[in-house]
A and B are shown apart, each in its own frame.
Chain A
Amino acid sequence: MKPRHKRALLIIAALAVIGVAALLILNALNSNIALYVTPSEVAAGKAPDGQTFRIGGMVKDGSLKRDGLTVHFVITDMAKDISVSYTGILPDLFKEGKGAVIQGRLNPNGEFVASEVLAKHDENYMPPEAKHALEQAQKNGSNK
């Protein structure tokens, strides 16, 4: 084999690896991205259908109810409320009146069934996604 051919073969091998990786990446990105949606958008029916997505907002004061290991609460952007249910142990920083980001999907009754509740690691910290939702709702409110 000539050196030129050798090099071509090596380059083809490298490109094949990159190509396969690109396929894997595209495939994985397609099925593993969760969109952030604000409570107002969910209320307006803009949530992705039958897909996992994330909601950011505040946990409404006085909305937390326990039923054994299952908890029910309301997440709000101060304009619209979405009721959420979650089974499992909530993170330490999950509190009424604080920001939270939850991942899950809507069930047919319009309740959001959370598979994951994310609350961040500092008491003074507000998840940017939750902040974003509040700001959006405020902006829409003042426009009306």
Chain B
Amino acid sequence: MIPEFGHYALILAFCIACIQGVLPLLGAHQGRREWLVLARPAAQTVFCLLAIAFAILAWSFYINDFSVLYVAEHSNSQLPIMYRLGAVWGGHEGSLLLWIFLLSTWTILVAQLSKALDEFMVARVIGVLGLVTCGLLLFVLTTSNPFARLLPAAQDGRSLNPLLQDPGLVFHPPMLYMGYVGFSVAFAFAIASLLSGRLDAAWARWSRPWTTAAWVFLTLGIALGSWWAYYELGWGGWWFWDPVENASFIPWLVGTALLHSLAVTEKRGGFKSWTVLLAITAFSLSLLGTFLVRSGVLTSVHAFATDPRRGIFILIFLALVVGSSLALYAWRAPKSTMGGKFSLSSRETLILLGNVFLVVSAGSVLLGTLYPLLIDALHLGKISVGPPYFNSVFVPIMIPLLVLMGIGPWANWKNTDLVIVIKRLWLAGLVAVAAGIAIPLLMGQFTWLAGVGFLLAFWVIASGCLQVIRQARVGKPTRSFIGMQLAHLGIAVFVIGITMVGAYQEEKDVRMSASDTVTVGGYEIQLQSVAAALGPNYKAMRGTFLLIKNGKTEATMYPEKRSYFSSTMPMTEAAIDAGLTRDIYVSLGEELDDKSWAVRVYYKPFVDWIWGGCLLMALGGVLAISDKRYRIKLKKQIS
């Protein structure tokens, strides 16, 4: 009976979302206040109903209600409680419900925190979000109902894919979705301002913190996914240019461009059309990402059971959203594109150039991701586009972008004397060149790629340090400023991480029997034994390895080869000895004939800096959102 309540709540939510989507927009158009005021209560009701539906699904997992098809397919009674709850979004239906629930959460946040905003604007924003909610709810109700029954009920569930039984899974999808879905707020603001014709600095100031918040979540979500792939998939890589990874990375790139473009619109009133276009693009790409991941046209970890109807539905929805918003854009976008006047050597120009690089890089990734699908759809054969494509296109585009990152913050708005900027930056240039030469030599081997990587990273860091020093002389820095510095520092830290791993990691596949040793990165790794072990819902072969440096044992490592009771699929659980300057990564392959094992060993210098950098970027975003000027504005307008 309870799951039916969940289904009923979804249907009711759909009906009310229709009201939320239609009446406020019409009311704003025709100036009917009685329709406008419906926006907030409707959004609140939708949120409550979705929360109920979501809670009911979680409850069904909690009590192991295997008469619900989705529960039976993704959980089983032996699954630890934490993963049972994580399994709520471990499959297609549940993850879509999560998507919509988060969309509704963003809507309610906008509704609550925008009290100071003009009533018409709020109604339009909530209305646009309502329409999106409506479309997705229709999708869930017609093609992917999470509450569908399985009668007679299954004895026990099929369990969650063992790869997904991991704390990383519990947090990765919600984070990522918060980011994806968060761009819907920037999108709604853009559409609302196109509808009202009021594309001004106030609009940019309102959408900026929301966009930053979405960007922070997306950054964290992608980083978590990458980290999870690193330690859980047993492949030891941190990024594979897998189509699904790209699907989240493309909106990130465009979202980053949007953040910077919004800054120009807020401060200088420029780039309005461009900013609006980026907001529409970022959200459309988020939808495209959902389509790619959920429709099953791609083959990856994330492709669940496939159903062509779903793909077609999302594709139509996507076409509707993109088509109607671009049509609106073509019709209403402001004609003067450049806004306030600025010279060629100004912060505006540099930001614009940075934007071009970001968008072009996003385009190149998108092309590489869609190209195989396109070729297949045209019956020209089946192909795959591998990581070398992405590396050889993406990296060269990022090099000038990082150079720009060191210069941009020094330039003034409107007009700046480049000679002065260069005079201030010579020291940073010197530091960068020195680092680019010295660090690879210290690491024992100079390669051009490593040299360029360190040069760029230290260019950004040194330029940032000089900026902080200058700012400290002038006065107390704003949180926005610190946020920007942290985020840029995060990029530099990230670049150091990928350069170190790319140039100096060591990988060995070896065959080992007890007391054999293998040497990587100056460490000796000795196999002690491999023995059977038992977990809560799996049995495993557990290896015991000693990590030895200079004759001293630093750690004992236990990689496992697990087989879960509820599935026949074996699972490699790598053992990682993590450190600030290096990770040692050991994973068990398969047992070979004579009690020896195939073992994969990695030495990964500075690999944790990759995720550390992402964390810094996210932290920078959080600081930027907490900047005083957003709050002061609020108080002023309330009183």
Q: Which positions in A face B, CB cutoff 8 Å?
A: 1, 3, 6-7, 9-10, 13-14, 17-18, 21, 24-25, 27-29, 31-36, 54, 66, 68-69, 87-90, 92-93, 103, 120-123, 125, 127-129, 132
* Additional A-B contact list (15), CB under 8 Å, known A32-B385, A128-B299: A18-B360, A24-B396, A25-B368, A28-B393, A29-B371, A29-B385, A33-B383, A69-B511, A69-B592, A89-B587, A121-B161, A122-B569, A123-B568, A125-B303, A127-B299
With both beta carbons as reference points, the residue of chain B lying nearest to A9 in the complex is identified as: B344
A21–B393 contact, CB under 8 A?
Answer: yes
Query: Can you list 7 A-B contacts (CB < 8 A)?
Result: A33-B389, A66-B592, A89-B590, A120-B300, A127-B299, A128-B299, A129-B382
A10–B386 contact, CB under 8 A?
Answer: no
B530 to chain A, nearest CB (A): 15
Whether B153 is near chain A, meaning CB under 8 Å from some CB there, is no
With both beta carbons as reference points, the residue of chain B lying nearest to A133 in the complex is identified as: B382
B392–A32 contact, CB under 8 A?
Answer: yes
Whether B272 is near chain A, meaning CB under 8 Å from some CB there, is no
Per a CB cutoff under 8 Å, which of A14, A17, A54, A92 touches B384?
A54
Q: Which of B314-373 contact A (CB under 8 A)?
A: 338, 341, 343-344, 349, 352-353, 356-357, 360-361, 363-364, 367-368, 371
B358 to chain A, nearest CB (A): 11
With both beta carbons as reference points, the residue of chain B lying nearest to A21 in the complex is identified as: B360
Report the Cα distance A98→B233, complex, angstroms: 20
A89 to chain B, nearest CB (A): 4
Per a CB cutoff under 8 Å, which of A9, A14, A21, A36 touches B397?
A21
Report the Cα distance A102→B401, complex, angstroms: 36
Question: Which residues on B sit within 8 Å (CB–CB) of A69?
Answer: 509-511, 592, 598
Q: For chain B, which range describes its interface: under 10, 10 to 19, 20 to 34, or 35 or more residues?
A: 35 or more
Per a CB cutoff under 8 Å, which of B233, B349, B392, B568 touches A27?
B392
Report the Cα distance A127→B352, complex, angstroms: 43
Given contacts A69-B598, A93-B569, contact A32 B386 (CB under 8 A): yes
Whether B234 is near chain A, meaning CB under 8 Å from some CB there, is yes
Report the Cα distance A18→B358, complex, angstroms: 11
Question: Which residues on A sit within 8 Å (CB–CB) of B397?
Answer: 21, 24
Per a CB cutoff under 8 Å, which of B385, B392, B396, B569 touches A33?
B385
B509–A68 contact, CB under 8 A?
Answer: no
Q: Which of B260-288 contact A (CB under 8 A)?
A: none
B211 to chain A, nearest CB (A): 22
Given contacts A21-B393, A24-B396, contact A10 B161 (CB under 8 A): no
Whether B589 is near chain A, meaning CB under 8 Å from some CB there, is yes
Question: Which residues on B sit within 8 Å (CB–CB) of A24?
Answer: 364, 392-393, 396-397
